[in-house]
């Protein structure tokens, strides 16, 4: 990149890791790096207020709670009510409680709105002296395959700035700049479209006692808490449906029918949108010194609550890998990052896929047909009656279903200093 006169004047600084994006992935990466004494800068394109109000996921799984606990961050960043571990499956109006009790000891999952986690991570990181730059525009990444990548961006007042670093954490979600910077042909995208739409509704209405998933011949519906007085609802709909085709009365009527709850208490609807249930995994999750974290690398359908928790898992592996490289000159974790993350990504994709197909096929079979409906009903029957099936489900819900890779199996040892650690 030849330096023009403007570039020569632009203010520049350097750090160890530049984190692109201040969502759950970026804030967790930066918080864990700071706990490891590693210098980093977060660049976020939105304002702090906009980031803080984005309502998305609502559960921090047991594994993630224990991850924050192991880093000494649980007290500062985790609030919310410890979950009683029970989830209600309501099939044709019949209630079945399913537990996430996997028999393990230690802190349990938290029903906890994502935006509150983001707010607490932000406050903790800034209070700890963390460098978080909001309204960073026109971010571009350079020399990712070299030893010292460069990140350029424009500040809110229009100043062009440059940061050189050792690593870039692409935590900018599914539509960010990080993955888009990787040259064609490097990544492979594995995508699946369920052919199902969800109308998602946010309302100031009483939350359920516990997460509620409803199977009905009229289509799938769900009801989750998003705070003491706020509820998130999902209604299966045609993927091409428009939110405007779902006025309030139609929403509440469909929810009462599908949740088999004629007394469901409504409330002012504050947000409604339709999205397609789709999943995608980009492999590998690395290019040179750019490491993709969270939604920047993978999207999973929301059932099972794995989207945010996969982001937290990636963040933990990345932070530990950088810590081992910087402090211990051991690049094993960097080499193994993509493979280790993808092992859990595919595991959680399979679980979310299983849950999505089961809960939709078991209800309105116009989409998948009566044979798939029979299979789905059998899967539910097994879940409700077999102790082993319930235990497997519980382990998948907690995220403690398999032992992480043993480091010794992870590829070569420390690389010669100065070369970009290639993933194995």
Neighbours of 9 (CB within 10 A): 11
Q: Exactly one of 197, 294, 421, 423 binds ligand APR (CB under 6 A); which one?
A: 294
Q: Is 80 in the site for ligand APR (CB under 6 A)?
A: no
Can you tell me whether residue 416 is helix, strand or coil? coil
Q: Is 20 in the site for ligand APR (CB under 6 A)?
A: yes
Is the peptide bond preceding residue 363 cis, with omega within 30 degrees of 0?
Answer: no
Q: Exactly one of 51, 235, 277, 290 binds ligand APR (CB under 6 A); which one?
A: 51
DSSP line for 271-285: EEEEEEEEEEEEE-S
Per CB under 6 A, the segment of 23-31, 222-230, 242-250, 351-359 that binds ligand APR is 23-31
Sequence-ordered alpha helix ranges (H) in 299-386: 306-328, 332-361, 370-385
> Cβ 86 to ligand APR, closest distance in Å?
22
Q: Is 45 in the site for ligand APR (CB under 6 A)?
A: yes
> Cβ 156 to ligand APR, closest distance in Å?
13
User: Regarding beta strands 286-287 and 290-292, do their DSSP bridges make them parallel or antiparallel, or are they unpaired?
Assistant: antiparallel
Per CB under 6 A, the segment of 195-203, 306-314, 329-337, 357-365 that binds ligand APR is 306-314
Binding-residue pattern over the window 311 to 340 for ligand APR, x denoting contact by CB under 6 A: x-----------------------------
Q: Exactly one of 15, 17, 18, 24 binds ligand APR (CB under 6 A); which one?
A: 24
> Cβ 387 to ligand APR, closest distance in Å?
31
Residue pair 198/274 in contact (Cβ under 8 Å)? The answer is: yes
Signed CA dihedral, 329, 333, 338, 341: sign only: negative
- Nearest Cα neighbor of 147 from 289, 291, 19 is 289
Q: Is 113 in the site for ligand APR (CB under 6 A)?
A: no
Q: Is 182 in the site for ligand APR (CB under 6 A)?
A: no
Q: Is 348 in the site for ligand APR (CB under 6 A)?
A: no
Tell me how many residues contact ligand APR (CB under 6 A): 27
The crossing angle, in degrees rounded to 10, of helices 306-328 and 62-70 is: 30
CA dist., res. 263 & res. 171, Å (int):
42
CA dist., res. 225 & res. 202, Å (int):
10
> Cβ 57 to ligand APR, closest distance in Å?
4
> Cβ 60 to ligand APR, closest distance in Å?
11
> Cβ 113 to ligand APR, closest distance in Å?
11
Binding-residue pattern over the window 256 to 285 for ligand APR, x denoting contact by CB under 6 A: ------------------------------
CA dist., res. 305 & res. 57, Å (int):
7
- Torsion angle, alpha carbons of 414, 415, 417, 419, to 10: -150
CA dist., res. 116 & res. 120, Å (int):
6
| Contacts of 11 by beta carbon, 8 Å cutoff, 6+ apart | 159, 161, 162
Per CB under 6 A, the segment of 15-23, 31-39, 159-167, 367-375 that binds ligand APR is 15-23
Q: Is 361 in the site for ligand APR (CB under 6 A)?
A: no
| Contacts of 324 by beta carbon, 8 Å cutoff, 6+ apart | 330, 331, 332, 333, 334
| Contacts of 15 by beta carbon, 8 Å cutoff, 6+ apart | 39, 40, 41, 131, 163, 165
Q: Is 22 in the site for ligand APR (CB under 6 A)?
A: yes
Q: Is 114 in the site for ligand APR (CB under 6 A)?
A: yes
Residue pair 373/362 in contact (Cβ under 8 Å)? The answer is: yes
Q: Exactly one of 15, 18, 21, 338 binds ligand APR (CB under 6 A); which one?
A: 21
> Cβ 317 to ligand APR, closest distance in Å?
14
Report the residue number, 136 or 380, with the smaller CB distance to ligand APR: 136
> H-helix or E-strand containing 25?
helix 24-35
> Cβ 413 to ligand APR, closest distance in Å?
30
Site for ligand APR in 117-176 (CB under 6 A): 136, 139, 171-173, 176
Report the residue number, 306 or 377, with the smaller CB distance to ligand APR: 306
Report the residue number, 118 or 359, with the smaller CB distance to ligand APR: 118
Sheet containing strand 131-133, edge to edge, reads: 131-133, 40-43, 17-20, 167-170, 290-292, 286-287
> Cβ 298 to ligand APR, closest distance in Å?
9
Which residues are at the interface with ligand APR (CB under 6 A)?
20-26, 43-46, 51, 56-57, 114, 136, 139, 171-173, 176-177, 294-295, 307-308, 311
């Amino acid at each position: 990149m030849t330096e023009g006169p403007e570039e020569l004047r632009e203010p520049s600084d350097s750090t160890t890791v530049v984190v692109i994006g201040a969502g759950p992935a970026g804030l967790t990466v930066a918080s864990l790096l700071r706990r490891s004494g590693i210098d980093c800068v977060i660049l976020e394109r939105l304002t702090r207020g906009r980031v803080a109000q984005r309502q998305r996921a609502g559960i921090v799984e047991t594994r993630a709670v224990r991850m924050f606990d192991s880093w000494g961050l649980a007290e500062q960043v985790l609030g919310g009510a410890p979950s009683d571990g029970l989830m209600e499956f309501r099939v044709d109006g019949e209630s079945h409680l399913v537990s996430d009790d996997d028999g393990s000891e230690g802190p349990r999952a938290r029903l906890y709105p994502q935006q509150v986690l983001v707010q607490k991570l932000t406050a903790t990181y800034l209070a700890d002296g963390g460098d978080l730059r909001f309204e960073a525009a026109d971010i571009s990444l350079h020399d990712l395959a070299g030893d010292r990548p460069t990140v350029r961006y424009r500040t809110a007042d229009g100043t062009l700035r440059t940061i050189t670093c050792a690593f870039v954490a692409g935590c900018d979600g599914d539509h960010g700049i990080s993955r888009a910077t990787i040259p064609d042909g490097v990544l492979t995208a594995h995508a699946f479209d369920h052919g199902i739409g969800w109308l998602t509704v946010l309302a100031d209405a009483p939350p359920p006692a516990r997460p509620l998933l409803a199977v009905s011949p009229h289509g799938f519906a769900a009801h989750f808490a998003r705070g003491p007085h706020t509820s998130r609802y999902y209604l299966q709909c045609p993927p091409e449906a428009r939110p405007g085709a779902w006025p309030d009365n139609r929403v509440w009527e469909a929810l009462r029918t599908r949740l088999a709850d004629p007394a469901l208490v409504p409330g002012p609807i504050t947000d409604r949108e339709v999205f397609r249930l789709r999943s995608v995994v980009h492999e590998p999750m690395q290019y040179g010194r750019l490491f993709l974290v969270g939604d920047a690398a993978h999207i999973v359908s929301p059932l099972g609550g794995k989207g945010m928790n996969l982001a937290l898992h990636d963040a933990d592996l990345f932070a530990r890998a950088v810590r081992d490289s910087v402090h211990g000159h051991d690049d094993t974790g960097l080499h193994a990052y993509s493979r280790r993350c993808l092992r859990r990504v595919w595991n959680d994709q399979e679980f979310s896929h299983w849950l999505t197909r089961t809960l939709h096929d078991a209800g309105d079979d116009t989409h998948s047909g009566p044979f798939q409906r029979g299979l789905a009903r059998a899967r539910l029957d097994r879940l409700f009656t077999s102790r082993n099936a319930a235990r497997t489900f519980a382990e998948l819900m907690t995220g403690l279903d398999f032992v992480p890779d043993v480091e010794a199996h992870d590829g070569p040892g420390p690389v010669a200093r100065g070369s970009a650690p290639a993933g194995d």
